[in-house]
Structure 1
């Protein structure tokens, strides 16, 4: 079984729901399985503010999760056109994997949720790609052959799946956004299987 890591940080719940949709897409591919992990919150001093084991939900990611995966889906809410600090903090600790070349040649995809239509979601997707490309990962996006990219009035980009959640993350994930999340998960799994 080829295992793909879905690594996300979610504050209002939308990115967590997108991670679950990505998992559905991955597990719809024969021979592929999703491993869902999250990261803890950090303080303004970049210190972990939560216990070592979460009380509920996905376990916290370890470097071993990254090393063992056949591919990676990385998700974070938008923070001024970039990923949230907890995700950046986790990725900043992956230099040991970079030195070993542990992620070279593995496929990766990104997903995000922003508060408004022009809230920086495309920029967040692009900036999330940068550390993955430094690791030598191969980016998987959404081609315009996916009809939802042409019909969506909410989220969805060729760079990755996105959601427009509203200022309080109160808008549900639209049908187009759901389909694009599942499609991206499927494309990631298919790519990982082909690369193996």
Structure 2
């Protein structure tokens, strides 16, 4: 039979309790997938504090949109993939290998870390039309962003005029953008 272990003294008990509580606080303070993704992007691009906060805001907007669209799982899958696949070259981040996750989230109409113009340029390039929209996020607003969303949501057959019905929907979409306030 083993002898009973002596109880720690009161000061030691208090210290152990504080350490356990502190450990719980550290665990509670772990960064979210959104924060880790923004950390990775900003570590690469050298974000200012303001840009880092914008990144977190964008991630929060994407998360809210994902909740509304019942696509939180797709968002989390993409963020985990980004964390694993992000590569930094010449202060530009890429995340090859996350195309499937990005496409699943895109089916919900949500994009993270990419503007509507980026997605439209991808679609236009895929369709053999080049990438005429700028890559500066500040310029992808208003009517331009609206048109970019129309482009990204249209198939190559629709953009190239091979699918007449889809091409007509694309035309209607861009016309609605034209009437948007600048």
Structure 1 length-normalised TM:
0.29
Higher RCO (Cα < 8 Å, 6 or more apart): 1
> Which protein is richer in helix relative to its size?
2
Larger Rg: 2
Greater share of strand residues, 1 or 2? 1
